[in-house]
Amino acid sequence: MRKSILLGTLAVVGLGGGAASAATLDDVRAAGQIKCGVSTGLAGFSAPDANGVWQGFDVSVCRALGAAIFADPSKVQFVSTTGQTRFTALASGEVDVLARNTTWTLSRDADLKFTFVGVNYYDGQGFIVKKDLGVASARELDGATVCIQTGTTTELNLADFFRVNNMTYEPVPIETNAEALQQYLAGACDAYTTDASGLAASRATFADPENHIILPEIISKEPLGPLVRQGDDEWADIVRWSLNAMIAAEEYGITSANVDELAKGTTNPEINRLLGTEGNLGAMLRLDPAWARNIITMVGNYGEVFNSTIGEATPIGLARGLNAQWTQGGLQYSPPFR
Amino acid sequence: MEESRFVRTEMLAPQAPPLGEIGWIRWLRDNLFSSWLNGALTLLAGAAVVWLAAGIGPWFANAVWNAGSLAECREILAGAEGACFAVIHDRWLQLLFGFYPDTLYWRPTLAFLLLFVALAPALFPAVPRRLLWFTAVYPGLAYLLLWGGTIWGPLVALAGVPVGVAAFLALRPALPLLAPAAGLVAPVLWWLLAAGPVAGLLAAALPWGLAPVGSAKFGGFMLSIIIGITGIAVSLPLGILLALGRKSDLFLVKTICVGFIEFIRGVPLITLLFTASLLLNYFLPPGTDFDIILRVVIMVTLFAAAYMAEVIRGGLAAIPRGQYEAADSLGLDYWKAMRLIVLPQALKVAIPGIVNTFIGLFKDTTLVVFIGLLDPIGLSTAIRANTDWNGIYWELFLFIGAMFFVFCFLMSRYSMHLERRLKTDHR
């Protein structure tokens, strides 16, 4: 039952002690929904549509969890978080899982006491320039003015890149992405640098996207992935393998279209184990045997989600690149379902 | 010699005044071209207006109202400059209600309309006093309409007031000095200890109520208005108490009030909001479900109350000492003197400052965007994150600005009306 605000206050003052964070899965089942922290708005990754339904690449991770645990991808409560509030929201239990384009770094993993369960998008910092600048590589940017968001790791990466390549640049420090784009379009800087996925998403919104190019160099590693609180390995396993199930499904050619056909049994034991027709992998995670099948039916495999939210057919238009399957020369690689 | 005289025997018909002295020509001369300098300034200003209209006009004139995305807008405009108000057409309900379930939109709408019914007796003397009863129960009713759930929560919470009154009346004959304190402590005890279990029992016995809607669904102007109105309604009485406390002779009361006011005023609102959203989470036991909107409302209210206290203290300072002494000489006790003599005058003096604080508070609610609540500004970011509307700025901000203007302008007009009504002309 939902606690009212007033009673919630009373609970705080009066009762004190709260639910232990040890068994997130039990809490989630009791609440009947997963509280999932997402970005307040990042094109292609998480945004509410006209009906208030959250859509996007990061959002699909949460929906996959809903499908795995409740066989219903709508049983997710989305909590919008900003760059400042995201870690506290997770640490304090306001959200059960954070799927908010967060870079996996050592300090966040160890110092902030979180567990990154995998990488759903390999990003990196890139540059966008106007075509008539006549530049084809970031190494030709010597002496350029560069728009840069202040207080981000991108600022440090930029300094490193130019120092390593023995080049000079003039930074134009800017507060927000929206402002930076306006400055770049107004010609206040030759180049604008931020995560390559963000550049692609922004370029899609220009009135003349064909006159801007994103340079091929990626100057930093930004592995983005979902994360959970440290100390509940069972819950971390569920999130980790839900993501892996999507990746593995693409590798084995299981799509939302053919999953029902394949679930009748195939000659490939790996597919059978994944779809729950063989073995008891679901029970090991304390989930329904059809958990992975539900993910693929209701949300889709990794490639399907990628293509429908940020892929080349969408206005965002991101190529698979590093995010292709390992069999296709990318980095997406799921450990075996055994 | 005959005297030649001329005496007019009939009145001349009045002539129309010269053309230069009437109508629009006179108006133009008086107001726009009364001197060479003013004439030149008029022409310059006129040129500026025309220049601006020529610049902005086409943008409005070409506005597209029906399109599915920014790209479609650009297609329809075919290279011409023009606003893409289709985004407002597509998302205005979301900007008003956030993610509130669309089948339940009647509930916040009804709560909003009833708000005016509840405010009317407090704002306009022509409205029957009996309606004040509705004002008293309105907070519980609004809570029930907005958040839904069992009707017993708000009812039991409201019951704290009669509990306090009962304690006060019961103790007054025996211990007249302790009675007011008991009147304050009893409801607090009721809310802390008894309200939860009682509401739970009643809800289990009689499960009446509305479908619950979680705080995560709240957003848009609904959120701004909830935070703003609650903050405004609670900060005024709190501010009055703080201002009186600051002027009090009791050392402890005075110290606490001064400390509170100076601390809150010395801290930016955004800091308090971050405290509400981040720090409280670390202090409270894990798993505590302390509603984020409630946390924000509390912080915003405390912030506004500190400012309100200083505005009202300004009003109190404007009352001549003789008024206090007059009240004393009538034999009124402190509360009666304040209620009947001092505060009515002080509050009247402070009206512009009070409304100023209200308007500031209402606009400050947009700061919640920094803690991830989706107020109109936050929603504009979220809408822009949708691939359909990515890259749209002005249209959304214009709409949001216009909505805020309507509310703030109404508040400002009401305060002017109030000042005129209370004008007693002693200068």
Digit-coded pLDDT (tens) for A247-273: 999 999 999 999 999 998 889 999 999
CA angle B120, B123, B129 (to 5 degrees): 60
Residue-wise pLDDT tens digits, A207-248: 788 899 999 888 998 899 999 999 999 999 999 999 999 999
**From B188, which residue of chain A is nearest by alpha-carbon distance?**
A10
Is B292 in the A-facing interface, judged by CB distances under 8 Å?
Answer: yes
CB contact under 8 A, B387 and A85: no
Which chain A residues contact residue B196 at CB under 8 A?
7, 10-11, 14
Is B67 in the A-facing interface, judged by CB distances under 8 Å?
Answer: no
Which chain B residues contact residue A92 at CB under 8 A?
281-282, 284, 286
Is B372 in the A-facing interface, judged by CB distances under 8 Å?
Answer: yes
Alpha-carbon distance B195 to nearest alpha carbon in chain A (angstroms): 8
- pLDDT tops 50 at residue A13: no
Q: Which residues partner with A121 through β-bridges?
A: A224
- Cα separation of the two ends of chain A: 39
Mutate to test the interface with B, among A21, A38, A92 (most CBs of B within 10 A): A92
CB contact under 8 A, A85 and B371: yes
CB contact under 8 A, A7 and B195: yes
Of B99, B286, B390, the CB nearest to A52: B99
Least confident of A122-126, A188-192, B44-48, B146-150: B146-150
CB contact under 8 A, B390 and A43: yes
Distance separating alpha carbons of residues A248 and A287, to the nearest angstrom = 18
Residue B237: pLDDT band (50, 70, 90) is very high
- pLDDT tops 90 at residue A327: yes
Portion of chain A with pLDDT greater than 90, in percent: 55
* Of the options 3.30.70.20, 3.40.50.1860, 3.40.190.10, 3.65.10.10, the CATH number for the domain spanning A125-220: 3.40.190.10
Residue-wise pLDDT tens digits, A271-321: 999 999 988 999 999 999 999 999 999 999 999 999 999 988 888 888 888
Is B366 in the A-facing interface, judged by CB distances under 8 Å?
Answer: no
Give residues 198 to 237 of B whose Cβ lies within 8 Å of A. 199, 212, 214-217
Give the alpha-carbon dihedral of B65, B67, B70, B73, to 10 degrees: -70
What residue type is A48 in one-letter code?
Answer: P
Q: How many residues in total does chain A contain?
A: 338
Residue A6: pLDDT band (50, 70, 90) is very low
- pLDDT tops 50 at residue A10: no
CB contact under 8 A, B291 and A5: yes
Alpha-carbon distance B285 to nearest alpha carbon in chain A (angstroms): 6
Distance separating alpha carbons of residues B69 and B340, to the nearest angstrom = 60
Mutate to test the interface with B, among A1, A2, A5 (most CBs of B within 10 A): A5
State the DSSP code for A103.
Answer: B
Q: What is the pLDDT of residue B292?
A: 84
**From A10, which residue of chain B is nearest by alpha-carbon distance?**
B192
Q: What is the pLDDT of residue A16?
A: 35
Of B289, B370, B381, the CB nearest to A8: B289
If you search the block for the tokens 């400390």, which residue do you land on? B259
Distance separating alpha carbons of residues B281 and B427, to the nearest angstrom = 53
If you search the block for the tokens 């506004």, which residue do you land on? B304
Residue B166: pLDDT band (50, 70, 90) is confident
Average confidence (pLDDT) over B342-367: 91
Please give the backbone phi and psi of residue B249, each rounded to the nearest 5 degrees, phi first.
Answer: -90, -15
Portion of chain B with pLDDT greater than 70, in percent: 97
Packing angle, helices B343-364 and B292-317, rounded to 10 = 140
- Token output for B221: 């102007």
Distance separating alpha carbons of residues A184 and A130, to the nearest angstrom = 9
**Would you say A322 and A331 are in contact if contact means Cβ atoms under 8 Å apart?**
yes
Distance separating alpha carbons of residues B242 and B239, to the nearest angstrom = 5
Residue-wise pLDDT tens digits, B54-100: 989 988 888 889 988 888 888 888 888 889 999 999 999 999 999 99
Instruction: Tell me the whole-structure pTM to 2 decimals.
Output: 0.82
Which chain B residues contact residue A62 at CB under 8 A?
none
Please give the backbone phi and psi of residue B266, each rounded to the nearest 5 degrees, phi first.
Answer: -85, -5
Q: What is the pLDDT of residue A236?
A: 95
Please give the backbone phi and psi of residue A35, each rounded to the nearest 5 degrees, phi first.
Answer: -90, 115
Which chain A residues contact residue B285 at CB under 8 A?
16-18
**From A3, which residue of chain B is nearest by alpha-carbon distance?**
B289
Average confidence (pLDDT) over B331-335: 89
What top-level class would CATH report for the domain A22-122+224-328?
alpha beta
If you search the block for the tokens 């994360």, which residue do you land on? A227
Helix (H) or strand (E) holding B179: helix B179-189
- Token output for A124: 């990196």
Of B199, B216, B287, the CB nearest to A7: B199
Pure H helices in chain A: 5-10, 24-31, 57-70, 86-91, 106-110, 153-164, 177-185, 196-203, 233-251, 259-262, 269-275, 281-284, 291-298, 302-309
Is B373 in the A-facing interface, judged by CB distances under 8 Å?
Answer: yes
- pLDDT tops 90 at residue B21: no
**From A42, which residue of chain B is nearest by alpha-carbon distance?**
B385
Please give the backbone phi and psi of residue A332, each rounded to the nearest 5 degrees, phi first.
Answer: -75, 120
Portion of chain A with pLDDT greater than 70, in percent: 93
Distance separating alpha carbons of residues B407 and B398, to the nearest angstrom = 15
Q: What is the pLDDT of residue B425?
A: 61
- Every domain of chain A with CATH number 3.40.190.10 lies at 22-122+224-328, 125-220
Alpha-carbon distance A202 to nearest alpha carbon in chain B (angstroms): 7
Residue B2: pLDDT band (50, 70, 90) is low
Q: Is B9 exposed, middle or buried (0-12, 13-18, 19+ CB in 10 A)?
A: exposed
Is pLDDT larger for residue A206 or for residue A68?
A: A68
